[in-house]
Structures are given as C-alpha cells and as structure tokens.
C-alpha cells in the first residue's frame, strides 16, 4: 500500500466514523513502514479538522464528532507508540486541558497530538477539568507550557480562574500559558494574562517551538 | 373576587383554557428535597428507598413550599435502576450530595442490548416505593393537589443503562442507529408500563425532563429521531395529561416537542417565553421559565427581590388567555437558596390573579 492510499484511508475512516477501517489503515502504515507522522498529520488530523469545521458550521453535531473521534483514536492508538519512538524528545513538558464546564475536546486533542509528535511530554488532564485540579497539576508537574481550551463563551471564565489560581499558588513565573477555542481571541488572552492565543494546533506548535 | 381554588382545580382550569383564580406554580421539585433530608438528618439513600421518608419529603412540596403539584420520583436514576443498573450513593457528587449515580450498568456492550429484558414495573428497582408513595399522596390529596409522576427521557435513561454513559450513546446516534433504536424501544416499553402504573396508583399526570440531549449535543433531526419519537409513544399510550420539559435552549426543538402530542411543554430560561407564547401558546400549556440552572441565574444567584421581579415579568407574558404555569426553567435543585423558592411561589399569588 502506498503512503498516499494509507493516508487517504485514514482520512476516510475519520470522516466515515469507521473504526475498523481506521485500525486496518493504521496497521498498513506500520506493516509497510510508512511515515507515521505524515500519516497522522495528513490523514487523521486532516480528517478531524474537516469534522471540526462541519461541527462549527452546525452541519453535524456531537454524535458524529464523537464517532469520528472514536475512529481517530482507533488508528492513533496503533500509531502513537511508533510516533513516540521516532520523535526526538524536546525535553519539555506541557499540561493541557479543556477547562471546567466544557466537554468539547476536539481542538485540545489535536493540539495534544501535534505537541507530542514534536517531542514534548504532554500531560492531558482531559475535559471539564475542575480549576483547582488543573492548578494543582501545574504546581505538581512544574511544566514549561500550560495550555487551555474551551469552545463555549460561559466557560471562558474558567480560564481566568486558572490564571488567578496560578497567581495564588505562586506558580505563574517561568511558565508559558497558551489558550485557544472558538470564542477566544488575542484580546481575551491579553485580558487574562495568557502569553499566546492560537487559532489551531499548527500555530500552537510553531509558537511553542520558538520559546 | 373569585373563590380560592384548590391546586387541582387551578391546574385543571388552565388545561381547559379557563381562567383559574391565579396562575398555578408547577415545579419539578427534585434535588432541593435535600434541604429536608439535611434538616431531618437522613441520607438520599434512606429517603429514596424508604416509603415513609420519601412520602414525608414529597409532602413538603405542597405543605411547606406551597407548590401547586407533587412531583416524584425525586432523582433521575430510578428508571435505569429498574432496568437493571446498580446505583451507588456513597460517591461524592458535587457539594457532598448523595444522589444516586450508576455504578454498574445493566448492558455492558452494544452486543448485549438484545439480552436486556423489560422488567415487571411493579417490582423493579425502587418502583414499589414510588408507587406506594403515590398511593399515599392520592389518599390524602388526590382530590386537591395534582400528583405528577416522572419518567426520564428514553435516551437519557439509555445513558444510565449502557456502559459508557453519554460516550457510548452519543456516537451510536451517528454510526449504530439500529442498536440504539432497539435499546430505546425497550426503555420506552418499560416507561409506558411504569407510567401507567403510576397513574393507576393515583398520579393525575406524567412528566418527562429531557436532560443531556439538548442543543449543546444534538441537532433537530437527531432530537426528532431519538428523543421526540419515543416521547410521543409514551404520551400517546399513558392516556393522562403530559408535561415535557427539555433542558438548555430548546428553541430548535420546540416543533418536535409540541409534535409529541404532549399537553404542556416546559423550558429553560434560554428560551424566549414571549416567542413561545405567540407561536405555541394556543396549542399547548406553557410552563416556565424563571432562571434556575446556571450560577448567575436569578433563582440560583439572585435575591428574593430579583426572583419576584423575574417571576412578575414571566407572569405578565404567560398568563393572558390562561394556559400558563409559572415554573422554574428547570428542576428546583439543592443549591438554591430556599427563600428564592418561596419568592417564586409568592409572586404567583401577588401578580398572577385573574
């Protein structure tokens, strides 16, 4: 199987919510020793970005997104060990979450995937993470990067609470905070004292690499 | 001045589109039952499983708070439990509450749906307790206060029945519809029979509170296919007045909700009451929608004066021409200041006179 066909099948599996096809296409990537990062990036992530766009435009809803995400992970879990094996460690750590009150985690997962693909150790706290738990993890892990995401306006306040919590715990210094998600913009990032707002995972990776 | 009506007369008048003495206050009184549990020093587990404790608590809805109805069961897990899931009361679920949560699901995988059996509604789960309490309420207040029995929305029950909760049921709506419809059909069959049993025990009406399948998770087509279709079967088969509440912003789903044949719809404060009154007010009874759910909502985060003002505004929109029940935008829950519940009920007495 060619790289192009395997990549096309990975994208097709995500768009078609087909876990079996996703897993078999991932197996093909490994058995044919194809480029794993390229397969993830141009197959799985490309498909998931299309799904995210359709969701943003309300052409599809959470059931399709979750079914696509299941296909994404059916393949990604096969490819991830190989990806990590071939990735040179950047020696730096990130703690990431979808903030308290929000369960939309597509964007966060894409950022996490690309961050890992670039050699960073990424501690994923998941979604709807209580502010106190997230701040405590930052205190415990001392990461260089802190990343937060939300898709909803009401839960933007959870980001502000995390920033306040970091100040209260005296753990803000020496860390870079990046935020993202549908309602977020640069003004909000500045308002709450975050260091960076990124529109997508590519911008996030590019910015992190420069730090 | 007209004679003071009983709550039952008041509510029946609105259903007949006649003017009652005043606007009724119809509430989904659920986790706020915890106030009394704390005062009397008993747990959720004791309250929900002991008919005498549950009866005493439900009585408070009318006798202590002054609502124009009784509403039970008080929690969302009764249907899932009756269908075979196990619940746990010892887990911490926000604020130290001890509401039941599912700890073991009746169906372990999609492939096991065929094995799920519809139980005997008289014996399943906590149903004997619920039915006994309805009988006692009926004996004391059956000719005076509406008794409303509650069944959870079928897809919400599905999340209590199949392992994985929403993470399983939501994707099934996209790529395993046949299996999900099979599960929803069994749940609906159960709910129709349990609804009938509650009516036979003395319930005057039934209600459904749809929760997790709302505008944040699904679209109108999915609401019609997985929520409204099954709700319509329940409404059609139980043969008593029905109230269908949908959480969050139900605006995209209102046509489907009304299309179920329900006699009343209830909705969150995100829905424009004025718009609903104009578009649906002649077709169904409207119940709503003073803010109660979010931390900045008036009943949750406001003062009694703010609740009074919000209720007055709702009454002014809803009451003309009858067919309106003053209600909170969702369940009356444990985090509300009690004085705000009293303020809501008092507002109907102050501003809701016909």
Question: Is the same domain home to A19 and A103?
Answer: no
* Residue A42 DSSP label: I
The confidence band for A197, taking pLDDT boundaries of 50, 70 and 90, is very high
pLDDT at A167 over 90: yes
Q: What is the pLDDT of residue B166?
A: 87
Model confidence pLDDT, tens digit, residues B20-50: 999 999 999 888 888 888 888 888 899 999 9
Percent above pLDDT 90 for chain B: 81
Question: Is the same domain home to A137 and A191?
Answer: yes
Nearest residue in A to B170, CA atom: A63
Question: Is the same domain home to A45 and A117?
Answer: no
Minimal CA separation from A31 to chain B, in Å: 28
Which domain-ending residue is among A55, A85, A115? A85
Identify any residues that bridge with A146 across adjacent strands, giving them in sequence order.
A95, A177
Which candidate, B52, B58, B100, B53, places its Cα nearest to that of B79?
B100
Question: Is the same domain home to A198 and A97?
Answer: yes
**Mutate which of A20, A61, A105 to disrupt the B interface (most B C-beta within 10 Å)?**
A61
Q: What is the pLDDT of residue B92?
A: 45
State which H helix or E strand residue B191 sits in: helix B177-201
| Helix, coil or strand: residue B329 | coil
What residues in B contact A22, CB-CB < 8 Å? none
CATH code for the domain of A169: 3.40.50.280
Q: Is A17 on the interface with B (CB under 8 A)?
A: yes
How far is Cα A97 from Cα A99, in angstroms, rounded to an integer?
A: 6
Tracing tokens 């141009």 back to the chain, one arrives at: A42
Question: Is the same domain home to A27 and A117?
Answer: no
pLDDT at A100 over 60: yes
Question: Is the same domain home to A98 and A50?
Answer: no
How far is Cα A123 from Cα B58, in angstroms, rounded to an integer?
A: 47
Q: Give the count of Cβ contacts less than 8 A between chain A and B.
A: 32
Model confidence pLDDT, tens digit, residues B146-159: 999 999 999 999 99
Which candidate, A161, A157, A155, A201, places its Cα nearest to that of A178?
A201
pLDDT at B201 over 90: yes
Contact B219 A66 (CB under 8 A): no
Contact B170 A63 (CB under 8 A): yes
Q: What is the pLDDT of residue B97?
A: 55
The confidence band for B348, taking pLDDT boundaries of 50, 70 and 90, is very high
| Domain ranges for chain B | 7-351
Provide the domain limits for residue A148: 93-209
| Helix, coil or strand: residue B86 | strand
pLDDT at A185 over 70: yes
What residues in B contact A154, CB-CB < 8 Å? 294
Cβ proximity of A70 and A34 under 8 Å: no
Interface of B with A (CB under 8 A): 167, 170-175, 216-219, 222, 294
pLDDT at A52 over 90: no
Structural domains of chain A, count: 2
Question: Is the same domain home to A109 and A204?
Answer: yes
Which domain-ending residue is among A65, A85, A105? A85
The confidence band for A3, taking pLDDT boundaries of 50, 70 and 90, is confident
Question: Is the same domain home to A165 and A146?
Answer: yes
Which candidate, B125, B328, B124, places its Cα nearest to that of B245?
B328
How far is Cα A59 from Cα B139, in angstroms, rounded to an integer?
A: 52
Q: What is the pLDDT of residue B138?
A: 98
The beta-strand segments (E) located in chain B are: 70-72, 86-88, 101-104, 147-150, 205-210, 242-246, 264-267, 285-290, 324-328
Average pLDDT, chain A: 91
Identify any residues that bridge with A77 across adjacent strands, giving them in sequence order.
none
Question: Is the same domain home to A19 and A107?
Answer: no
Contact B175 A61 (CB under 8 A): no
Question: Is the same domain home to A103 and A176?
Answer: yes
CA atoms within a 13 Å half-sphere pointing along the CA-CB vector of B41: 0
Buried b (16+ CB within 10 A) or exposed e, A194-211: bebbbeebeebbebbeee
> How far, CA to CA in Å, does B281 sit from each of B17, B177, B261?
11, 34, 14
Question: Is the same domain home to A114 and A203?
Answer: yes
Model confidence pLDDT, tens digit, residues B256-293: 999 999 999 999 999 999 999 999 999 999 999 999 98
Which candidate, B266, B225, B203, places its Cα nearest to that of B25?
B266
Model confidence pLDDT, tens digit, residues B50-102: 999 999 999 999 999 999 999 999 989 999 999 999 998 865 434 455 678 88
Nearest residue in A to B218, CA atom: A61
Among A79-93, B194-208, B332-346, top mean pLDDT goes to B194-208
Tracing tokens 């998931």 back to the chain, one arrives at: A48
Q: Which ipTM score applies to this complex?
A: 0.89
Q: Which CATH class is domain B7-351?
A: alpha beta
Residues in chain A: 211
Q: What is the pLDDT of residue B94?
A: 43
Which domain-ending residue is among A85, A102, A119? A85
Cis omega (within 30 of 0) for bond into B210: no
Phi-psi bin for B9: left (phi > 0), alpha (psi -120 to 50), beta? alpha
How far is Cα B175 from Cα A14, in angstroms, rounded to an integer?
A: 12
> How far, CA to CA in Å, does B100 sit from each of A170, B71, B90, B191?
38, 18, 8, 19
pLDDT at A30 over 70: yes
> How far, CA to CA in Å, does A95 sit from each of A157, A168, A210, B142?
19, 18, 18, 58
Q: What's the rounded mean pLDDT across residues B320-333?
A: 94
> Sheet harboring B285-290: ordered strands across?
B70-72, B147-150, B205-210, B242-246, B264-267, B285-290, B324-328
pLDDT at A136 over 60: yes
Identify any residues that bridge with B207 across adjacent strands, giving them in sequence order.
B150, B243
């Amino acid at each position: 199987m060619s790289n192009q066909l395997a990549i096309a099948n990975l994208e097709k599996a995500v768009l078609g919510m087909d876990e079996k096809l996703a897993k078999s296409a991932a197996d093909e990537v490994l058995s044919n020793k194809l480029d794993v990062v390229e397969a993830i990036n141009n197959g799985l992530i490309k498909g998931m970005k299309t799904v995210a766009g359709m969701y943003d435009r309300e052409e599809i809803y959470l059931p399709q997104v979750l079914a696509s995400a299941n296909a994404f992970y059916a393949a990604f879990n096969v490819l991830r060990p190989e990806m990590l094996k071939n990735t040179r460690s950047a020696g730096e750590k990130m703690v990431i979450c979808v903030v308290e009150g929000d369960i939309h985690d597509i964007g966060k997962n894409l950022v996490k995937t690309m961050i890992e693909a670039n050699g960073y150790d990424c501690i994923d706290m998941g979604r709807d993470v209580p502010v106190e738990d997230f701040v405590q993890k930052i205190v415990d892990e001392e990461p260089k990067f802190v990343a937060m995401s939300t898709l909803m306006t009401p839960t933007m306040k959870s980001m502000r609470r995390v920033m306040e919590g970091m100040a209260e715990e005296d753990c803000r210094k020496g860390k870079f905070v990046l935020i993202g998600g549908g309602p977020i913009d640069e003004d909000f990032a500045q308002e709450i004292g975050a260091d960076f707002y990124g529109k997508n995972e590519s911008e996030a990776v590019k910015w992190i690499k420069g730090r | 001045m007209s004679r003071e009506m009983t709550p039952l007369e008041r509510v029946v008048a609105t259903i007949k589109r006649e003017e009652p003495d005043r606007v009724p206050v119809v509430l989904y009184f659920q986790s706020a039952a915890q106030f009394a549990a704390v005062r009397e020093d008993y747990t959720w587990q004791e309250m929900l499983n002991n008919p005498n404790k549950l009866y005493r608590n439900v009585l408070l809805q009318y006798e202590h708070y002054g609502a124009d109805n009784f509403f039970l069961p008080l929690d969302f897990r009764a249907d899932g439990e009756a269908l075979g899931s196990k619940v746990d009361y010892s887990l911490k679920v926000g604020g130290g509450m001890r509401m039941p949560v599912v700890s073991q699901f009746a169906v372990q995988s999609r492939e096991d749906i065929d094995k799920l059996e519809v139980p005997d509604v008289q014996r399943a789960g906590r149903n004997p307790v619920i039915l006994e309490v309805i009988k006692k309420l009926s004996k004391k207040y059956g000719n005076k206060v509406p008794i409303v029995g509650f069944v959870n929305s079928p897809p919400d029950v599905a999340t209590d029945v199949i392992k994985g909760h929403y993470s399983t049921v939501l994707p099934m709506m996209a790529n395993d519809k046949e299996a999900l419809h099979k599960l929803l059909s069994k749940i609906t069959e159960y709910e129709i029979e349990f609804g009938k049993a509650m009516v036979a025990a003395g319930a005057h009406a039934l209600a459904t509170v749809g929760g997790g399948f709302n505008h944040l998770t699904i679209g109108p087509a999915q609401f019609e296919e997985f929520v409204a279709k099954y709700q319509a079967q329940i409404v059609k088969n139980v043969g008593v007045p029905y109230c269908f509440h949908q959480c969050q912003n139900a605006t995209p789903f209102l046509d489907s909700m009304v299309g179920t044949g329900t006699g009343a719809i209830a909705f969150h404060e995100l829905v424009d009451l004025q718009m609903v009154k104009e578009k649906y007010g002649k077709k169904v009874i409207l119940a709503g929608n003073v803010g109660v759910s979010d931390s900045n909502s008036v009943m949750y985060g406001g003062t009694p004066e703010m609740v009074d003002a919000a209720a007055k505004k709702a009454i002014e929109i809803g009451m003309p021409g009858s067919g309106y029940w003053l209600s909170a935008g969702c369940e009356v829950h444990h985090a509300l200041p009690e004085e705000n519940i009293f303020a809501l009920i008092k507002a109907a007495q102050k501003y809701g006179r016909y």
